[in-house]
A and B are shown apart, each in its own frame.
Chain A
Amino acid sequence: MRQQIPLLITFIVGTLLIVSVFIPPFGDLETTFNIWFDIIAVFAFFLGGGNLLRVHINKLRKRKRDWGFSIVTILGFSVMLIAGLFKIGNPGDIASAVDAPGSLFYDIFNSVQYPLSATMYSLLAFFVASASYRAFRAKNREATLLLIAAFIILLGRTPFGVMLTGWIPDSTSLLQIPNLAIWIMNSPNLAGQRAIMIGIGLGVISMSLRLILGIERSYLGGDK
């Protein structure tokens, strides 16, 4: 029974959503189900927030390793929660948006959270460099091909690449590095990406059918 009801719900919802693609009067079902999902997710957030507080309060109480980080987490969580719930400094009334400009919530978000997120994101530039260094080492034939392709694309996207092969006549313009870079991106790269996309599409169909027909049950916590 514990698995039968979720399986039945999955079957009904899955079938209805497939049918809605072909029957226009059912066309809004996807939006409706998405709204239902959002409502459930909002209630589930209480579980998440509660879990976060419990874990960090425990860590703090038992003085576990790195408990100092837990103070920052609890403080950040509490300040944002209070600022948002009570709309401190909000220029509008209680019905106004929680992130209205001028509110404490808005100021903290823009002055603390936003720059911190940007800092994390900017790490990507350095990680791209280190990952590229490893990926482009010519250890075997495939890696060498990858290195050559990457080199052409890097050069093709810079003025130096244009300058280097600008003398090649228009009749053989494909050999100009920027054009070679475009060809690599539009032909072999795009073909490969599309092949992966087709595989993903078929994989999603197969996985969805397994879920709808109840063959796949491990996401419910069991194989049988």
Chain B
Amino acid sequence: MSLPLAATHPRLSVHLFFPIIVIVLTTCSSAFGQSDTQLDTTVVDDTVSIAAAPVTTLLVEDGKYDDGDSLRLFWVPSIDDQLIDSKVTGYRVYRLVNDGAAEPIVDLLPGVGNYTDKNVELDSSYVYYVATLTESGEYPSIHTESISPQREWINFRRGYLFIIMMIISAAIIFYVETAKRGKKLFVRKIAGLEAIDEAVGRATEMGRPVLFIPGISDMDDVQTLAALTILGRVSRTIADYDSKIFMPVSRSLVMTAARETIKTSYQAAGRPDAYNDDMVNYVTDEQFGYVAAVDGLMVREKPATVFLLGAFFAESLILAETGNSIGAIQIAGTARPAQLPFFIAACDFTLIGEELFAASAYLSGEPRMLGSLKGQDVGKAIAMITILLGVVAVTLSEAWGVGIMTDLHAWLVKVFSSS
């Protein structure tokens, strides 16, 4: 009678029994726990499909040339952040202030690799980390080093701007001083300003009033200030000719300033009794409400002369065309390039851009004021030379690959794009 092989050889029996037990146990567990295993497998697969790698190379640095009120974060987005079928739904930036608890500060879209935290204080320290967001949860990056924002006292990024500003300002002051010493300065004729006396004279002859509209901006707009400086001269002429002016305005502060200007002009003309506060009326701040009121005034009162000087927006053409329809002589001026074509099409004379700012100097004829206009020409010369240099540099660089011209072009871009 022969014994089973295992019984005869103890080591062999161990070797055979272990695999058999494993096979039996595996079969049993497959038979009795099939559904559980399948469920587990499904969960694991899902997790694998929406898990995402965290962002890498997370860096934090102090915001440059600021008041110590910003910190900048940079990172490389998760490798699972793809344009198509991306697992990443976004990024969440966490911040720990003075080693306190982490708090989320912002959620960002996928693909974003930087963020500037502008809600920081000088005396605090900050640690950041960025969590990659997926449908299943967040996958945080490592933490940054602790950093405190620093205050810079001078913005060196605007150094070139400072130099250009100083050159132009110095030129203006130089010509103002030169003019004060009595040197005659040539200023070209500006047709629109030459026509002021004629336009007011026409109104006087026709026995009709002059309408002055200083735009729809407030006193914080330099165009309104320029308009009021011209108003000073216009109202002086009106006072001299004993004509009438009315001035509907859309800002209360402009009303008070305009009244003061006209009053002083009437006093200077020796006719303070002819001045009346009702020459300047407040209408409304509302853009088209103001336009409706002014158009109505134009049609009813039929002014002989209309001045449209200052900051105008969509209402420019409505006002100018109404003025044209009543046959008024119109002198317009604005520093808004988009409105200039409308004024040119509808008005008799138009002060284009800088002419509006030059008007008060031109009209006063005062040497110091004219000197400031001459100083502007230095700025224009700089602009012309720079444009010429830029054109030559780009042409030679792109057409013939001249290295020095490429450098010159890059330098010019750096100078004029510094902010």
Contact = CB atoms under 8 A, between A and B. Distances in A.
Interface in B103-159: 151-155, 158
Number of contact residues on B: which range applies?
A: 35 or more
B353 A24 contact: no
Chain A interface, >50% SS class: helix
Interface residues of A, number: 63
Nearest to B249: A48
A199 B380 contact: yes
B52 interface: no
Given A47-B256, A120-B318, A55 B218 contact: no
A120 B292 contact: yes
Chain B interface, >50% SS class: helix
B378 to A, nearest CB: 9
A204 B357 CA distance: 7
Interface stretch (B91-99, B199-207, B259-267, B395-403): B259-267
A116 B255 CA distance: 25
B228 A218 contact: yes
Contact of B229 (A25, A198, A216): A216
A120 B335 contact: no
Contact of B288 (A41, A55, A66, A117): A117
A132 interface: yes
B62 to A, nearest CB: 12
Given A25-B151, A44-B253, A203-B376, A131 B233 contact: no
Contacts of A79: none
Contacts of B296: 69
Given A48-B282, A113-B286, A37 B220 contact: yes
B373 A206 contact: yes
Interface of A: 18, 21-25, 27-28, 34, 37, 40-41, 44-49, 51-52, 55, 65-66, 69, 113, 116-117, 120-121, 123-124, 127-128, 130-132, 134-135, 193, 196-200, 202-211, 213, 215-216, 218-223
Given A51-B255, A51-B281, A204-B335, 11 more contacts: A23-B153, A23-B154, A24-B65, A37-B218, A52-B282, A117-B288, A131-B342, A205-B172, A207-B225, A207-B357, A216-B360
The 3 closest A-B pairs by CB, nearest first: A48-B252, A203-B354, A203-B357
